């Protein structure tokens, strides 16, 4: 799977850790920055990840900032993005299975690298269920996006 990775300065170390983990698992990573610990603005990197998904350059995305909250707010402003801030494995896979989540958002100052690896594995390994009730709800979410 091709995965777009992005993060601000507070997410840099965890992004680097996860990029290596994903590559070890055989995934291709599109590293959209930041590429060091110099202070930057998370919306810029959220936009890069969201646009990469929208253009079909990656199948899923991972976005990391200090708490994950700002990155989650920013990336969900882009059309077609269904991002979830997850700090437990159930949410990381259930968000994909029930809500067709396509971006995992993490807080680089909230969780450690071992938990982050578990979350990424749960996210990457999950697939949308296509169950009627979940598709119906996803259709309503998509209609909201189009309406507003």
Q: List, by residue number, the catalytic residues.
A: 65, 98
Other residues' Cβ atoms within 10 Å of the Cβ of residue 7: 32
Two tokens, residue 139: 């259709």
Q: Where are the beta strands (DSSP E) in 46-129?
A: 60-65, 83-85, 103-107
Contact of 94 with 101, CB cutoff 8 Å:
no
Give me the residues paired with residue 136 across strands: none
Contacts of 57 (CB under 8 A, 6+ apart): 2, 4, 30
């Amino acid at each position: 799977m091709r995965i777009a990775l992005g993060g601000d300065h507070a997410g840099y170390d965890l992004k680097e850790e996860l990029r290596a983990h994903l590559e070890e698992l055989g995934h291709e990573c599109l590293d959209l920055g930041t590429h060091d610990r110099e202070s930057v603005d998370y919306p810029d990197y959220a936009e890069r990840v969201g646009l990469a998904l929208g253009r079909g350059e990656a199948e899923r995305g991972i976005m990391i900032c200090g708490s994950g909250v700002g990155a989650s707010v920013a990336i969900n402003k882009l059309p077609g993005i269904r991002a979830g801030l997850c700090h437990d494995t159930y949410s990381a896979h259930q968000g994909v299975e029930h809500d067709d989540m396509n971006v995992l958002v993490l807080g680089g100052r909230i969780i450690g690298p071992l938990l982050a690896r578990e979350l990424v594995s749960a996210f990457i390994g999950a697939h949308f269920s296509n169950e009627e009730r979940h598709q119906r709800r996803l259709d309503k979410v998509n209609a909201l996006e189009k309406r507003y």
